[in-house]
Amino acid sequence: MSQGGDADLPVRPAPSVMQHAIRLLVLLDGCGEPVVQGDPGGCVAVIRAELRLQALDFWLRNPDYLAGELLAMVEADELPADEYVPVIEHLLESPEPDLHWYPMPRWHHGAYEAIDDAFSMLSAYGLAQVRRKGGIRKTARSQFFLTEAGRATVDDLRTEKVLSWYTDQVKLVALVAGSDLGSKLKQRQYEQAEYARTKLGTNIAPIYAGVRERLDAVKATVGTGTSAEGAS
Amino acid sequence: MTILGEAVLAELQRRGVEIDPARIEKVLLDADVSSTASRGVPARLRVRRLHVTGTKHYSETPGEETEPAKMKTAPINLHWTPGNGVNGVGSEKNLRGKSSVLHLTMWALTGRSHLQADVASWVDHVNAEFHVDGVPLYVEFDVTDGVPGGKVEQQLPAGGRTVLGTFAGEAEFESVMGSVMLERLRLDAISVFSNGVETEHTWPSYAAALTVHADKLDPIVGNENTLKTRILQMFVGTSWAAVDAQVATALNSMTFEQDERKAQRQATASVTAVALEQAEDRVAAVKKVLEEFDPDEPDVDTVFALASAASERAREAHHLSLQLMTADTAASEVRAQLRVEELREQAAIEDAVARRLFNGMTPSVCPRCSTRVDAERYAAEPTTHECSLCLHELDLDEHMDYPEPDTGGSGVDDAAENESNAETEEVIDPLKALRVAVADAEQGVLGLREKHQAAEAQRREAEDAAVKAREKIDSARARLKAELELARAQSSLDTLRDASTGRPVAPVADEELIVLRAASDLTKKWVKDDQGPLLESVSDAIAALARRFGSTNIMSVKLKGNGNMDVLKGGANTTYSGLTNGEKLRIKLAAVIALIELGHRDGVGRHPGLLFVDSPAAEEIPEADLKVMLMAMTAVAEETDLQIVVATTHGPLLSAVLPNGNLLVAAGTDFVW
pLDDT above 90: residue A146:
yes
Of A13, A19, A125, the CB nearest to B363: A125
Of A19, A99, A120, the CB nearest to B354: A19
Q: With an 8 Å Cβ cutoff, are A162 and B365 in contact?
A: no
For chain A, the domain total comes to: 1
Please tell me the distance in Å from B362's CA to the nearest CA on chain A.
6
Cα distance between the two ends of chain B: 58
Please tell me the distance in Å from A136's CA to the nearest CA on chain B.
15
Instruction: List the helix and strand counts (H, then E) for chain B.
Output: 17, 16
pLDDT above 90: residue A28:
yes
Residue A9 included in any domain: no
Residue A81 included in any domain: yes
Residue A7 included in any domain: no
Residues B433 and B9: their CA atoms lie apart, in Å, by 115
What stretch of H or E contains B510?
none
Percent of chain B with pLDDT over 70: 89
Residue B554 exposed, middle or buried by CB count within 10 Å (0-12, 13-18, 19+): buried
pLDDT (average), residues A201-205: 60
Provide the H-helix boundaries in B133-227.
170-184, 203-208
Report the residue of B334, B357, B438 to disrupt the A interface, i.e. the one with the largest count of A CBs within 10 Å: B357
Nearest-by-CA chain B residue for A99: B343
Q: Which residues does chain B have with pLDDT short of 70?
A: 35-36, 38-39, 61-66, 68-69, 94-95, 196, 368, 394-427, 499-509, 619-620, 668-669
Residues B77 and B100: their CA atoms lie apart, in Å, by 13
Q: With an 8 Å Cβ cutoff, are B346 and A100 in contact?
A: yes
What per-residue confidence (pLDDT) applies to A205? Answer: 64
Highest mean pLDDT, choosing among A64-78, A190-204, B489-503: A64-78
Range of the domain at A25: 17-227
Cβ proximity of A145 and A130 under 8 Å = yes
What per-residue confidence (pLDDT) applies to A164? Answer: 87
Neighbouring residues of A72: CB distance < 8 A, sequence distance ≥ 6: none
What per-residue confidence (pLDDT) applies to B393? Answer: 73
Report the residue of B340, B358, B372 to disrupt the A interface, i.e. the one with the largest count of A CBs within 10 Å: B358
Q: With an 8 Å Cβ cutoff, are B332 and A5 in contact?
A: yes
What per-residue confidence (pLDDT) applies to B402? Answer: 47
pLDDT tier at A228 (50, 70, 90 boundaries)?
Answer: very low
Of A12, A124, A153, the CB nearest to B363: A124
What per-residue confidence (pLDDT) applies to B363? Answer: 78
Residue type at B615 in one-letter notation: S
pLDDT above 80: residue A147:
yes
pLDDT above 80: residue A21:
yes
Residue B442 included in any domain: yes
What's the CA angle centered on B58, arms B77 and B658, to 5 degrees?
Answer: 55
What per-residue confidence (pLDDT) applies to B65? Answer: 67
Q: With an 8 Å Cβ cutoff, are B367 and A121 in contact?
A: yes
Provide the H-helix boundaries in chain A.
17-31, 50-61, 63-75, 81-93, 95-99, 116-124, 148-157, 164-177, 182-191, 193-197, 208-231
Residue B385 included in any domain: yes
Please tell me the distance in Å from B335's CA to the nearest CA on chain A.
8
Please tell me what DSSP assigns to residue B365: B
Nearest-by-CA chain A residue for B349: A162
CA quadruple B618, B623, B624, B630: dihedral sign: positive
For chain B, the domain total comes to: 1
Residues A59 and A177: their CA atoms lie apart, in Å, by 9
Range of the domain at B356: 300-471
Residues B331 and A1: their CA atoms lie apart, in Å, by 12
pLDDT above 80: residue A138:
no
Residues B381 and B492: their CA atoms lie apart, in Å, by 119
What per-residue confidence (pLDDT) applies to B423? Answer: 47
**Does B263 contact A at CB distance below 8 Å?**
no
Please tell me the distance in Å from A123's CA to the nearest CA on chain B.
6
**A114 vs B contacts (CB less than 8 Å):** none
| A182 alpha carbon, distance to own chain's centre | 12
Give the pairing of strands B565-569 and B572-575.
Answer: antiparallel
Nearest-by-CA chain A residue for B388: A124
Residues B472 and B495: their CA atoms lie apart, in Å, by 34
Residue B251 included in any domain: no
Task: Identify the residue with better confidence: B255 or A25.
Answer: A25
